[in-house]
Structures are given as C-alpha cells and as structure tokens.
Amino acid sequence: MSTAIKIREINKSYGELQALDDINLDIQKGEFFGLLGPNGAGKSTLIGILGGLVHKDSGEVTVLGNDIITDYRKTKKSLGIVPQEITFDPYFTVRETLEIHSGYFGIKDNGDKIDELLNALSLDDKAEIGPRQLSGGMRRRLLIAKALVHDPEIIVLDEPTAGVDVELRNSLWEYVIQLNQQGKTIILTTHYLEEAEALCDRIAIMNKGKIVKVDSKENLINSIDKKVISVKFAAPVKGFEKELVEIDFEISDDQRQIKIESAKKNLNKILKKINDLNLDIIDMDIESAKLEDVFIKLTNLGDDDN
Amino acid sequence: MTINTITFLSLVKREVSRFSKVAIQTIFAPLISTGLYLIIFSYSFQNREVAGYGIPYINFIVPGLIMMSLIQNSFANTSSSLIGAKYNGIIIDFLLAPFSHIELTLGFMIGGMVRGMLVGSVTYLVATFFYGGAVAHPFLAVFFAILVSSIFSLFGIIAGLWAEKFDHVSIFSNFFITPLTFLSGVFYSVKGLPGIWSEVSLFNPVFYMVDAVRYSFVGQSDIAPAFSALVIGSLVVILLVIVTYLFKIGYKVKS
C-alpha cells in the first residue's frame, strides 16, 4: 500500500497558541482514516494546511508524492475537502454550482458525474433550485457534492454529519463506504466516536496540537483493559452485597441489575462470584472497551502532561 | 507560469453570471443616475461651451460620465464579489480549487471589466440621444476603457480582500473612488481651475483616465494623451503585481 498523505514535522501557531506541534503522520492509499480529538485539538488546522487554507509555519506535506506548496495544482486536484462550516453561493442553483465547481478543477462537460452525485446524495429533485431554498441537511449534501465533483483520490470529511439527521447520515456513510471500496482514501474527523469506530481502519487521536496516538482501531481498543459485565436477575439482589464485597459494582434502582467494570484478568473471578450468588440470571452481557474509552483516556493523558 | 484555460474561464464565467443574475441592480440601476446627470446637464448648460475646448458642455461631460460609470461598476463588481464570498464563506472554494494566483487575479479582474465595459457601453448608447454619439478615436476609446476598467477591477479586489465587512468596502467607495472621480475633471476642465488646483489635480490618477478618454471622444485633452497612457499603463502593471502578490500570500483569506 503506497502513501497517500505524508506529513512531516508540521508546526503552526497563532500568536501564543501552538495549534499544531510537530505533527508527523502517514496515511496510506485506500485507507479509511479517522482524525479524532476534542475541540481545539488542531484537526481542522491540519486539514486547512492540507487544502491550502492555512499557512504552515514549518514542515512538509505531500499528497500522492506531490508537495502541497510547489505542486499545489496537482495536490488540490487529488483532494476533495468537505469543510466543517456550511457555505453556499446564493447566486447559483445546485446544478450550476456543481458545473462551476467542475470548471474550477479544469473539467468541462461534467454532466454525468454531476448527475451521479445528485442521485447518490438525493439531490436530483433539488438540482434546479437555489441553495437558499435548501434545508441545512441538503446544503451539507451540496457541500459534499462540491468536494466530489472532480472525482478526487483523497476525500477529507471534516465533521460531515454535524447537525445532520439519522437518515442522511446513514445514506451518506453508505456512499462514502462505496467510494472507499472503489479505492478512494477517506479521512474523517467527527465528534461521533461510534461513527469513527464503525467506519475507520486506522485512527489518529489528537490533543492540544499533538498526535497522541496513531494505530489501528483494534489495537487502540485492545489497549484499554476493560470489560463491562451487566447481569439481570429474576429477583432483587439486595442482601447479597456482602458476597460481592471485593467487586466494584453499580446496582440499578429496582435492584435487579448490576454492572461491573473490571480488568480482563478478573473476569473469571467475577463470573464465579456471580454464580455463587445462586440467583436466577435472566440476562447477561459483557462489553469490551469502546473507542470512546480510548479517546477519553488519551485526551485526559494530554491534560495530565501539563 | 501557465494558465489553465478551463479553470480560468470558469472563474470569469462565474463572475459574469453573478452580476448578470442581478442585472437590474448591477447594470440598469447605475444607468438611472448617469441618465439623470445627462438630462440635468444637457438642459441646464445647453448653450454653454467649455473654455479652451470650444465644444458644447454635453459633449465635454459625456466621456467623463462614461468613465465614471465604468470606474464605479468595475470596482463594485470585484469588491462586492470578494466581500460577498468572504461573508458567505465560499472564499474557500477559490482556495481549495487549483487556481494559480495569476488566474485568480485575471479571473476576478476580467469579471469586473466586463461589468464596467457593459455599463460604460450602455451609458454611451444612452448618451447618443443627448449629443449625437460622435467619437473621434473609437479604438483608442475602447483601449483606454479596457485599461481603466482593469485598474478599478484590481482596486476592487484589493478592497474586497482588505474588507472584513460590507461597510469597509463603502469606505473605499465613499472616501477614495467618489472624491477622486468627481475631482478628476469629469464635469470641468482641469486646465481652467484657479491657481494651485490645476497642479494638484495632476496627482489624481483618475484625472489621466478621464482626460485620455475625453481625448478619444473629442480629440482634445488637458494634457498629452500619450502621457496619460503611460500613467494608466503603469498603474495597471503595478496593481496587477500587487493583487497577484496578495493572492499569493492569501492576504486576509488564509490564516
């Protein structure tokens, strides 16, 4: 797998604020890559540098082997960036917007691609109307269509589902997964960690301008030694607390359910204790760590450093 | 430095389509004020001749009024397009697309020139009803009109990039463009100004533009048209360099 984006020693500051601090990152061709971090972590600044919206102070970025400064024409053609903020040109209809945008990327007569995008993003019946008449979700779809109109190799989605209803979110992901399966590289930033967990192959977690961890989704999740055991009993568990004295557990208001968070090595001991209660168990569930746990751990770790 | 024709022409097309979609505001509204000037001056000074020119006053002011329309509309087009793009957030479309800095400069500039030339041409057509429509050097008139519209389109780009809100553009318009235009000899001959004022007018670049176009129309001018051409040509080159540089550094559009 060859490298789609190579980022080396990128620094960017706004006055006293170090927005990006010595960022190094490789994103491979065909990857579905997640860029996660709390607000102000530097994700959008990094994407801004990639797209030529933000000046970097130092460092080097290449896109498909081309430098973003010296070969900016090539790199911009390779990138399709969906910005976080919804913007639209009020003078032009949806179709006109996409035609003009195709032209910006040097493409004439792009009708087939435009039709494909309008169809994929369910904008066919809105093609001839102005963006002022579109709902927020439709404007977001238009933004995505604009970023894809030149058929870029690398698609960067900066919070694409913020404020978007569930139906659109699902249809958008279906389309993005399809693009990824066609070989497109996808870079996603999102606040919805479950989306990143479901979609991304590899994830970088940023905090305070630094990349605190980059790894495969599985490795990141496995790095958290946590299991959550939920047990539902037929009768209230009250009176048995002393049996579970060594275990840290939460009990529900009706006292029929307990939830225990534990390290993997204690699983056997805990299950044995529960069994020793000799109560009727009507349901049981064991959950592994989630990306959210990794995210919280790594971004808190950043706080501890200060 | 190569220019991608499709990329560049798409920007020109976008700029021209933008003002065409609101033609009542961008093309026809400016004609109202110019038409009123023509009506008022043609009837108020119908028997008056301009000192040193020996031509009716209306013949004298028509080139100036055409220039005024052309200047204001070239400036308005690029400045409003850019401040509008910043306001709507679509300025990033121009940054994310593979435009070279010169393509952005020329694309916006030509959009402004088309509007300026269009309004200037329609002003001329209206003016023909008032003075007959004679033009002494038509090719020279078009040549100067192209140069002047490019200057104010470029100036409008600077204003649009600099401005952070619409009010800022009107600062340029009200405090620079309008005074410089009104004091450039649109309505009077600078030669006839008393004392130091005729010398002061030579520091006003718009004076050279109005004077050169007046030469093209009536065959007479306050100063030699070749010198005006030199001043105007130099301004075009200087502004082209400045605007291209501003796009290169992403002045007020890149962080």
B92 contact A CB<8A: yes
A103 contact B CB<8A: yes
Judge whether residue A120 has pLDDT over 70. yes
Nearest in space to A99 (alpha carbons), one of B11, B5, B150: B11
Helix (H, G, I), strand (E, B) or coil at B56: strand
Judge whether residue A244 has pLDDT over 70. no
pLDDT bucket at A306, cuts 50 / 70 / 90: very low
Distance, in Å, from the CA atom of B166 to the CA atom of B148, rounded to the nearest integer, reads 24
Q: What are the tokens at A256?
A: 């029929």
Total domains in the fold of chain B = 1
| Residue B254 lies inside a defined structural domain of this protein | no
What's the Rg (C-alpha) of chain A? 24
Distance, in Å, from the CA atom of A34 to the CA atom of B147, rounded to the nearest integer, reads 51
Average pLDDT over residues B85-111: 95
Burial of residue B92 (number of CB atoms within 10 Å: 0-12, 13-18, 19+): buried
Distance, in Å, from the CA atom of A62 to the CA atom of A22, rounded to the nearest integer, reads 16
Across the interface, do B97 and A53 touch by the CB < 8 Å criterion? no
Residues of B with CB below 8 A from A90's CB? 88
CA distance A72 to chain B (A): 7
The top-scoring range by mean pLDDT among B18-32, B137-151, B212-226 is B137-151
User: What is the 8-class DSSP label of residue B49?
Assistant: B
For B186, the domain range is: 5-249
How large is the angle between the packed helices B138-162 and B205-218, nearest 10 degrees?
Answer: 160
| Residue B203 lies inside a defined structural domain of this protein | yes
| Residue B230 lies inside a defined structural domain of this protein | yes
Across the interface, do A79 and B96 touch by the CB < 8 Å criterion? yes
Nearest by CB to B98, from A14, A100, A105: name it.
A105
CA dihedral A147, A149, A151, A155 (to 10 degrees): 10
**Chain B residue with Cα closest to A45:** B255
| Residue B20 lies inside a defined structural domain of this protein | yes
Across the interface, do A90 and B88 touch by the CB < 8 Å criterion? yes
B98 contact A CB<8A: yes
pLDDT of residue A237: 77
Residues A16-68 have pLDDT tens digits of: 899 999 999 999 999 999 999 888 889 999 999 999 999 999 999 999 999 99
Number of neighbours of residue B20 by Cβ within 10 angstroms: 14
Q: What are the tokens at A93?
A: 């209809």
pLDDT of residue A304: 45
Q: What are the tokens at B116?
A: 């300026």
Residues B161-196 have pLDDT tens digits of: 999 988 899 898 899 888 898 888 888 877 777 777
| Domains of chain A and any CATH numbers | 3-222 (3.40.50.300), 227-288 (3.30.2130.10)
Using alpha carbons only, give the angle B33, B115, B72 rounded to the nearest 5 degrees.
45
| Residue B255 lies inside a defined structural domain of this protein | no
Nearest in space to B222 (alpha carbons), one of A279, A201, B231: B231
Where helices occur in chain B by DSSP H, the ranges are 5-21, 23, 29-44, 57-88, 91-96, 101-131, 138-162, 166-172, 178-182, 197-200, 205-218, 225-249
